[in-house]
Structure 1
Amino acid sequence: MIVKVGFDYEDDIEYMICPAKVGRNINRLQEEFWDWLFDRQNQHPYWFEEEEEGNVTYGVSYRTDAFIYWLNKVKYNKGKNVARFIEVPKTLPKKTIRF
């Protein structure tokens, strides 16, 4: 199943492909991903920190690759990837999510 992933701007779009069983639950999976992404206990490569006037703040910087990483390495970590990034879909997306 092809999933369209939108960001802040209307023309800022990426696509991923995954099995239908994953795609059917994409909205729930997105919520689980956010819980994982923003949990400071999770060491992942999407954290960044800024220091301003002696105060350190943490944030995340991510795109579709982070969601795909989470699907493949955290949620469905059985050794076989369930999702991958695609440049240009050959068919219309069945689902759309926004970050």
Structure 2
Amino acid sequence: MIIKLVFGNNFVQYISCSTKVGRKMNYIQDDFLNWIFDEEKNKEYWTLENGERIHPNYDSTALVDWLNNVRFKRGKANAKLITNPQLPGKKNLYF
């Protein structure tokens, strides 16, 4: 399933994942946001200033990484970034 991710300011990216995962993305999005804003669990996707974490800095790469390596460790998601989608997204998520 192709999912359109809208980050605001006309910044749009697309990911592909299994249909089973894609159908649940509205619910999964909340879990992702909780993870991305948790300084203890997410250490990679933060903006640093003077060595301190200021705020999360993420795009679809972070969501794909989280789906494949945190949420569905056993290969259920198989999510990937799509640079030039041939079909429109079946679902839109807004961040």
Q: Please indicate the TM-score interval, normalised by the length of the shorter structure.
A: 0.7 to 0.9
Give the structure 1 partner of residue 83 of structure 2: 87
2: CA distance, partners of 1:16 / 1:35: 20
Aligned residue for 1:74, secondary structure, equals helix
Give the structure 2 partner of residue 8 of structure 1: 8
Unaligned runs of 5+ in 1: none
Q: CA RMSD in A?
A: 1.6
Q: State the one-letter code of the partner of 1:22.
A: V
Q: TM-score, normalised by structure 1?
A: 0.85
**Structure possessing the higher radius of gyration over alpha carbons:** 1
Matched pairs, number: 94
Give the structure 2 partner of residue 30 of structure 1: 29
2: CA distance, partners of 1:79 / 1:14: 22
Distance apart, 1:41 and its partner CA: 1.3
Distance apart, 1:50 and its partner CA: 2.4
Aligned residue for 1:89, secondary structure, equals coil
Distance apart, 1:45 and its partner CA: 1.1
Q: TM-score, normalised by structure 2?
A: 0.88
Aligned residue for 2:78, secondary structure, equals coil
Q: 2:69 aligns with which of 73, 76, 89?
A: 73
Point out 4+ residue stretches in structure 1 off by more than 6 angstroms. none
Query: Please, which moves more after superposition, 39-48 or 85-94?
Result: 39-48
2: CA distance, partners of 1:19 / 1:80: 8
% identical aligned pairs = 35
Q: State the one-letter code of the partner of 2:93.
A: I
2: CA distance, partners of 1:22 / 1:63: 19
